[in-house]
Amino acid sequence: MKARLSAALIATIFTVALALNGCSSKSNTGNDAASAAKTLTIAISTDPGTADGQMTTEEYLLPLNLFDRLVEVETTGPGQSKIVPGLADKWDVSADGKVYTFSLHPGVKFHNGEVLTADDVVYTFDRMLNPKTKALNTDFLDMIDGAKERMDGKADATKGLQAIDKNTVQITLAAPFAPFLAGLATPGVGIYNKKATEAGGDKFGQEPVGTGPFRLKKWEYNAELVLEAFPDYFRGKARIDQIIAKVIPSADTQRLEFEAGTIDVFDLDGARTQIPYFRDNAKWQSQVVSGPRVGTYYYALNQAMKPLDNLKIRQAIQYGINRELLLEKFYYKTGVPAKGVLAPGLAGYNAALPGFTYDPEKAKTLVKESGVASPTIDIWQVTDSADTLKINEAVQAMLGEIGIKVNIKQVDSATWSASRKTGNQIAMYHSSWSADFNDPDNFLYTFFAPNNSVARSFNEKNAKVFESLDKARQVTNMAERYKLYQDAEKLVVYDDAAFVPLFHLEHLFVVAAKVKNFKVSWNGWSNMSYYGIKVE
């Protein structure tokens, strides 16, 4: 869910373009100066609304470029990544896996000139857990000792957060939690300056102060954002002088502007019908950059609702869907069939899973063996998703051929979300999930822990799955952890048939020839850090 401000507050904040953080809001007055600036112009479909990473779960352009985290994720290859030092040069983990001690890089400056200290880190994390903040990303920190009491309003501070000295932060967890470090590399846990954040109050999301490679220069709501390189960035000034992000909702308009040379990057993820034009066009094909989206498209099957409470009906659906045809028809073969929940490039991915061949005869046999007469299933979706409707209509026809009647039920997004949370209204739905952080917990626990499984309308009831997921969170040996997640994945997908894996997609961009070193983010997000990019 996106964080959104009230209309009145937005109108007040964005009546004029903002000049922030001690940066001049004046445009270059000389043509020579303007032409000399190395500018990257990108298009975004919606205005981010806020730069506060604690208050958004979707719009990461600003959190990734204005802030840094204690640790970062570095893209090492297509769909591959590793955790590297960020604001923390190094860290130690106690033998029991509960105490993390971070040594901060000395002398790091915020955009307002303040120097980063351990107190800023403690303040940032405690702010997220403070119930008054109403933060959306508390799940990355709620395992810290005292977090529950802080979020419940029973404590004035988080017990497990401690500044040992100016450059040393100690974080104590309530129990060992192996994915903790990976979670700290996500956009929502960027580090804030205590002084500037408190002074900003409710306006901090529009007047952000971070340590990142860029700082906010101008923000015209629903029109344009300008980020300029921060000259005192602790890793060295960015190779581009500024980023101009134009708000262009229409993918067709984005394409026209790209071809006209007024934007430098065109994200084909929102305009898949344009993929053949750019990919197969001699003029553009050398400028197409692709990388795997470390995510999985799937159908969820609700084991608590008829006829999906019947295992053989669920198995029939797994074999009755032609994944290759869906990839060809809707995605121009820019992907591969999925074999399970986890995606290639994700830590713990199991390439040895057999997958599901399209076998309509086997599927028909399973329907007959189920003993269910004339099985009928409602597939739910939100009304305004044309792409989802196309997939659902294709699957409706495929399942009809094996003897399962499918009705497509379209409802508004609020009704859909509320109904899914009950766990007893939505029988089947199509969705996708992309990695927030590089750990299988982000997929399997998110979907199939007891409470999550109900809230996502899977209704998994296998105690062995729950046992494996709980144990994997506390085991510190990575090989042993991954084996536990893989065991749970096999149970959910192959034994219980609660999850129908469809495919993993490639994420394609086409970039202007002057843009160099453009890399698709390891997890395939559209938003990324532009620090390493060069413009000739």
CATH number, residue 86 = 3.40.190.10
- Residue 268: band (very low, low, confident or very high) from pLDDT cuts 50, 70, 90: very high
Q: How many CB atoms lie within 10 A of CB 54?
A: 29
Structure tokens at 404: 């399962």
Mean pLDDT, residues 490-494? 97
Give, in order, the Cα–Cα distances in Å from 381 to each of 322, 341, 377: 20, 20, 13
Which pLDDT score is estimated for 14?
43
Average pLDDT, the chain: 91
- Residue 391: band (very low, low, confident or very high) from pLDDT cuts 50, 70, 90: very high
pLDDT at 197 over 50: yes
Is there a single domain that holds both residue 224 and residue 365? Answer: no
Which pLDDT score is estimated for 273?
87
Question: What domain count does the chain have?
Answer: 2
What's the CA gap between 343 and 433, in Å, rounded? 10
Is there a single domain that holds both residue 60 and residue 174? Answer: yes
For residue range 200-224, list pLDDT tens digits in order: 999 999 999 999 999 999 999 999 9
Range of lowest pLDDT (74-88, 286-300, 337-351, 506-520): 74-88
Is there a single domain that holds both residue 343 and residue 211? Answer: no
Which pLDDT score is estimated for 182?
92
Would you say residue 266 lies in a domain?
no
Cis peptide before 307 (omega within 30 of 0): yes
Which pLDDT score is estimated for 246?
97
Phi, psi for residue 339 in degrees, rounded to 5? -110, -20
Confirm if 245 and 264 have CB atoms less than 8 A apart. Answer: no
**Between residues 58 and 378, which one has the greater pLDDT?**
378
Q: How many CB atoms lie within 10 A of CB 259?
A: 15
Is there a single domain that holds both residue 490 and residue 530? Answer: no
Q: List, in order, residues 6 or more apart from 255 with CB less than 8 Å away.
A: 266, 271, 274
Which pLDDT score is estimated for 378?
97
Mean pLDDT, residues 446-472? 95
Which is nearest to 353 in space by CA: 141, 499, 520? 499
Is there a single domain that holds both residue 223 and residue 318? Answer: no
Would you say residue 117 lies in a domain?
yes
Is there a single domain that holds both residue 103 and residue 139? Answer: yes
Is there a single domain that holds both residue 232 and residue 324? Answer: no
For residue range 309-354, list pLDDT tens digits in order: 999 999 999 999 999 999 999 999 999 999 999 999 899 999 999 9
pLDDT at 35 over 70: no
Would you say residue 108 lies in a domain?
yes
Q: How many CB atoms lie within 10 A of CB 333?
A: 11
Which pLDDT score is estimated for 7?
38
pLDDT at 16 over 50: no
Would you say residue 278 lies in a domain?
no
pLDDT at 106 over 60: yes
pLDDT at 26 over 80: no
Which is nearest to 104 in space by CA: 167, 38, 41? 167
Is there a single domain that holds both residue 103 and residue 153? Answer: yes
Would you say residue 316 lies in a domain?
yes
pLDDT at 459 over 80: yes
Would you say residue 277 lies in a domain?
no
| Residue 464 belongs to domain with CATH number | 3.10.105.10
* Partners of 41 in the β-ladder: 244
pLDDT at 18 over 90: no
Which pLDDT score is estimated for 2?
37
Is there a single domain that holds both residue 39 and residue 179? Answer: yes
What's the CA gap between 72 and 185, in Å, rounded? 5
Which residue range forms the structural domain that includes residue 429? 295-506
Is there a single domain that holds both residue 526 and residue 475? Answer: no
% pLDDT > 70, the chain: 93
Is there a single domain that holds both residue 521 and residue 478? Answer: no
Which pLDDT score is estimated for 27?
38
Q: How many CA atoms lie within 13 A of 440 on its CB side?
A: 28
Which pLDDT score is estimated for 6?
40
Would you say residue 256 lies in a domain?
no
pLDDT at 104 over 80: yes
Is there a single domain that holds both residue 463 and residue 528? Answer: no
Would you say residue 267 lies in a domain?
no
For residue range 87-102, list pLDDT tens digits in order: 999 999 999 999 999 9
